[in-house]
């Protein structure tokens, strides 16, 4: 009987499971090839390529279709690339045609511009497919809310692309360093930054330009706007939403709380305001009311200087954690008032600083007195995987009923509420409060 479970039915029956339960390995074994997941990629631009690069390394993922409105460039290139990797696929310009014709899909991975996310996600969920949708979940709260509602209504899985939620280094910091060892003790302040270099707008060679009728049909005024959609109101959320959503999501995760207020200042100070409607520079301060007390979190996005890179620093009264998706950053600093951390080094939660191993162990480790205090390290790496692979694996394993989603629609929504409000605060030029029920759908 078990052997008769076919691939499609298996995927359907395990669908509900991603939200909570696990499937017995015997059922999976019986399903055999049933473990394969047929997918389509919707949006084959820069991020679509990054996700594909990871998905090609995940066993059991079968690309069946690609959809992208840029036929002469991204669509053709991606379709050919997938064929090279022996993923026979059909190429579509319009997602509706793809959903009409492709009848053996299990899931769609969406990496289109933010203003398309709600329509694409809702249509795919309604078509009975599981969805991995890139952040920002939507450029509007109404859009993001409708996605949560459709996921609930259809019972399909919806993972939002805040990939740090599945990153083994971030999971280690949250589960072991903060929760188990409590190395920071009471977190009082946070400093998050994403500093990007100044750069020219993207441009495409004339021979690859999309005709105006197609651009208009899909919501773009011109080819330059199509290439640089992030900067436009109504299409993206600007650098603060684009980049900040990743990091402000981590603030809420690690604190176990959503913000209670935000104050922000920013503007388009450097680029041309006509082609950069969203702010190129934003500095915001969020307030959180946690069980341990108030936390104030500074967050900045700048687009004119990259020297300081990108990171999140959590500061507590016993220690500091600085982490970044970039593997080059990941340090933990002990306050002199904290008990020694030898026990946690032995347990593998942190790695001792090189200086402390070689030198006098009783050396003063006081961040107030030392310009560069000894840095303990996070002893966990990516296991040879690129940043997005674990989050995609989590999504596919949730479809198989083996794991729970690490970033379901409800969490993506909470983050959307938090980041979109900062843009509002810049515009209003005042402190804005969040009502508790604002984070609920
Ligand atoms: N998680 C991350 O770290 C990360 C990083 C970069 C981008 N992203 C997100 O991925 C998404 C895509 O960003 P990008 O940098 O790849 O942008 P991009 O402009 O490079 O690619 C977007 C692609 O979508 C296509 N497209 C536009 N409208 C479409 C439609 N209606 N139907 C089908 N295809 C359509 C475009 O032709 C283009 O190929 C955004 O939501 C972005 O925020 C996430």
**For residues 188-214, b (16+ Cβ closer than 10 Å) or e, as one string?**
bebbbbbbbeeeeeeeeeeeebbeeee
Tell me the best of 42, 75, 131, 134 to mutate to test the pocket of ligand 1, counting ligand atoms within 8 Å of each CB and taking the most. Answer: 134
The CA–CA distances, whole Å, from 93 to 79, 130, 267, 372 equal 12, 21, 36, 54
Give the model's pLDDT for residue 20. Answer: 40
One domain for residues 218 and 309: yes
Give the model's pLDDT for residue 370. Answer: 52
| Ligand 1 centroid to residue 29 C-alpha, Å | 36
Tokens of 439: 């984070």
The domain that holds 434 is classified in CATH as 3.30.360.10
One domain for residues 276 and 208: yes
pTM of the complete model: 0.92
Tell me the best of 95, 111, 136, 387 to mutate to test the pocket of ligand 1, counting ligand atoms within 8 Å of each CB and taking the most. Answer: 111
- Enumerate residues lining ligand 1, CB below 6 A: 42-48, 67-70, 74, 95, 111-114, 116, 134-136, 161, 163, 218, 242
One domain for residues 296 and 427: yes
One domain for residues 170 and 61: no
* DSSP 8-state secondary structure symbol assigned to residue 3: G
Query: pLDDT tens digit string along 218-277?
Result: 999 999 999 999 999 999 999 999 999 999 999 999 999 999 999 999 999 999 999 999
**Total domain count for the chain?**
2
The residue whose two tokens read 């983050």 is 415
Write out the DSSP string of 183-221. Answer: TT-SEEEEEEEEE----PPP---GGGPPPHHHHHHTT-S
Closest ligand 1 atom to residue 73 Cα is 39
Q: Cite the DSSP H helix spans in 56-140.
A: 76-84, 95-101, 117-126
The Cβ of residue 277 has, within 10 Å, a number of other Cβ atoms equal to 15
One domain for residues 354 and 395: no
One domain for residues 113 and 172: no
* DSSP 8-state secondary structure symbol assigned to residue 328: T
One domain for residues 141 and 196: no
Question: Cis peptide leading into 136, omega within 30 of 0?
Answer: yes
The domain that holds 48 is classified in CATH as 3.40.50.720
Structural domain boundaries, residue 341: 166-383+416-439
One domain for residues 394 and 332: no
Give the model's pLDDT for residue 105. Answer: 98
One domain for residues 132 and 198: no
Give the model's pLDDT for residue 318. Answer: 97
Q: What is the pLDDT along the chain (441 residues), one digit of tens a residue?
A: 333 345 555 455 454 444 443 333 333 333 446 799 999 999 999 999 999 999 999 999 999 999 999 999 999 999 999 999 999 999 999 999 999 999 999 999 999 999 999 999 999 999 999 999 999 999 999 999 999 999 999 999 999 999 999 999 999 999 999 999 999 999 999 999 999 999 999 999 999 999 999 999 999 999 999 999 999 999 999 999 999 999 999 999 999 999 999 999 999 999 999 999 999 999 999 999 999 999 999 999 999 999 999 999 999 999 999 999 998 899 999 999 999 999 999 999 999 997 644 444 455 555 555 556 789 999 999 999 999 999 999 999 999 999 999 999 999 999 999 999 999 999 999 999 999 899 999
What are residue 290's DSSP bridge partners?
293
One domain for residues 211 and 277: yes
| Ligand 1 centroid to residue 44 C-alpha, Å | 7
The Cβ of residue 69 has, within 10 Å, a number of other Cβ atoms equal to 22
**Under 8 Å between Cβ of 12 and 154:** no
């Amino acid at each position: 009987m078990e052997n008769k479970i076919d691939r499609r039915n298996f995927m359907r029956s395990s669908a509900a499971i991603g939200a909570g339960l696990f499937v017995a390995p015997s059922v999976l074994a019986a399903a055999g090839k049933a473990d394969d997941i047929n997918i389509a990629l919707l949006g084959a631009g820069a991020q679509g390529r990054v996700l594909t690069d990871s998905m090609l390394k995940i066993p059991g993922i079968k690309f069946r279709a690609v959809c992208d409105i840029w036929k002469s460039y991204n669509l053709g290139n991606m379709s050919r690339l997938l064929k090279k990797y022996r993923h026979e696929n059909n190429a579509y310009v319009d997602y509706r045609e793809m959903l009409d014709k492709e009848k053996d899909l299990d899931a769609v991975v969406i990496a289109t511009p933010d203003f398309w996310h709600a329509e694409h996600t809702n249509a795919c969920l309604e078509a009975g497919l599981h969805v991995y949708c890139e952040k920002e979940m939507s450029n509007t709260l109404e859009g993001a809310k409708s996605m949560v509602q459709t996921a609930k209504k259809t019972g399909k899985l919806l993972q939002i692309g805040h990939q740090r939620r599945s990153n083994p280094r971030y999971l280690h910091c949250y589960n072991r360093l903060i929760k188990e060892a409590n190395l920071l003790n009471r977190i009082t302040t946070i400093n998050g930054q994403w500093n990007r270099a100044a750069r020219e707008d993207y441009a495409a060679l004339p021979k690859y330009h999309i005709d105006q009728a197609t651009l208009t049909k899909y919501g773009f005024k011109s080819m330059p706007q199509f290439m640089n959609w992030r900067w436009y109101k109504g299409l993206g959320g600007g650098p603060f939403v684009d980049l900040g959503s990743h990091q402000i999501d981590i603030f809420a995760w690690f604190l176990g709380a959503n913000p209670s207020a935000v104050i922000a200042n920013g503007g388009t100070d450097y680029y041309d305001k006509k082609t950069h409607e969203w702010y190129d520079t934003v500095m915001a301060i969020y307030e959180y009311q946690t069980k341990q007390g108030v936390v104030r979190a500074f967050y900045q996005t700048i687009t004119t200087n990259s020297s300081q890179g990108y990171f999140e620093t959590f500061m507590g009264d016993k220690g500091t954690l600085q982490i970044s998706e970039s593997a080059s950053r990941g340090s933990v600093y002990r306050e002199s008032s904290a008990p020694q951390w030898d026990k946690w080094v032995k347990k593998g939660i942190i790695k001792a600083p090189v200086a402390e191993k070689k030198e006098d162990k009783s050396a003063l480790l006081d961040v107030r007195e030392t310009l560069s205090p000894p840095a303990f390290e996070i002893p966990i790496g990516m296991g040879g995987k690129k940043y997005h692979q674990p989050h995609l694996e989590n999504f596919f394993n949730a479809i198989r009923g083996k794991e729970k989603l690490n970033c379901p629609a409800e969490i993506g929504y909470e983050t959307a509420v938090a980041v979109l409000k900062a843009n509002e605060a810049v515009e209003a030029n005042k402190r804005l409060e969040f009502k508790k029920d604002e984070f609920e759908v």
